Structure 1
Amino acid sequence: MKIMIVEDEALLALELEAEVEAAGHDVVGQAMSRDEAIGIIDKEQPEFAFVDVHLVDGPSGIDVGRHLAERGIPYVFVTGNLKRIPEDFVGAVGAIEKPYTMNGLQNALDYIGRRLRGDYGVRPPPSLVMAPARHNN
């Protein structure tokens, strides 16, 4: 899977990249700001993204999430404060709370990969806070 990382803390971004690659996926870009992230999304067309809510230019991860959702690209927020995420999760699959464990991250990545491949019988791991169900009324 082609994965993008939107994270303004360089060490966390590098750790996340190492975990993603160890799980057999490709990191197609890392961004620390809204504009940088949108440029990577439009150029690289990732299949999935990890998005921090608060970036170097403020809480612009929400805008990045909206941009991903508009393009039909699934993503999860990775944040130290779940209260910063809007109630509707702006189209995110869910969120992983910082600090996360590498095991928790791997479990979430495995779950997301299986869901994207159409396995809807798999249960989300405890490390992944799921977005509220969307209803089409």
Structure 2
Amino acid sequence: MSLCIMIVEDEMLLALDLEDILLDAGHTVAGQASDMNEALVLAERCEGRIDVAIMDVNLARGSNGVETAAALRQQWNIPSLFVSGNLDEKTRALAVAWKPIGFVGKPYSEREVLAAIASVTRATV
């Protein structure tokens, strides 16, 4: 099952790598955002028809991935998959409140990302 996925990552090379992984796996990429404002604009433009957001914790312009994940979950019920090098226990505890689909540390493997995304597919079938 193909999913529509938003990438929220401020490092362009990582965002492009994630996009390639997702497209090769047959998913649709709704777009990329580098900060909270861009992510909210993208979700609004897609009218919430996004299945999951791949979310970094530290975003551009001082925005925070956990706060962005909270806004996406509250406004459009979009769950997040946190893919970050900053997944300490405090961050995980804050993120868990917004029911993420999982956590993948950086550096990540294609297999790890796709396995976490597959959990969304299994949950919707």
| TM tier, smaller | 0.7 to 0.9
What stretches of structure 1 of length at least 5 have no aligned partner? 118-137
Q: Which has the larger helix fraction? A: 2
Partner of 1:39: 41
Moved more, 78-87 or 92-101: 78-87
Whole-Å Cα distance in 2 between the matches of residues 76 and 28 of structure 1?
15
1:25-36 matched pairs, under 5 angstroms: 25-36=27-38
The amino acid of 1:112's aligned partner reads: V
Moved more, 56-65 or 9-18: 56-65
Whole-Å Cα distance in 2 between the matches of residues 48 and 109 of structure 1?
8
Is 1:113 aligned with 2:121? Answer: yes
**SS of 2:104 mapped into structure 1:** strand
CA RMSD of aligned residues (A): 1.5
Whole-Å Cα distance in 1 between the matches of residues 121 and 25 of structure 2?
10
Partner of 1:97: 105
Identity within the alignment, %: 36
Partner of 1:50: 54
Whole-Å Cα distance in 2 between the matches of residues 8 and 54 of structure 1?
8
Partner of 2:93: 87
The amino acid of 2:41's aligned partner reads: G
The amino acid of 2:80's aligned partner reads: Y
Query: How many pairs were matched up?
Result: 117
User: What is the TM-score normalised by the length of structure 1?
Assistant: 0.78
Whole-Å Cα distance in 2 between the matches of residues 27 and 68 of structure 1?
16
Per-residue Cα deviation, 1:48-79 (whole angstroms, up to 9, x for no partner):
11010101122521221011110211211111
Moved more, 22-31 or 58-67: 58-67
Shift of 1:115: 2.0
Whole-Å Cα distance in 2 between the matches of residues 34 and 59 of structure 1?
6
Shift of 1:112: 2.6
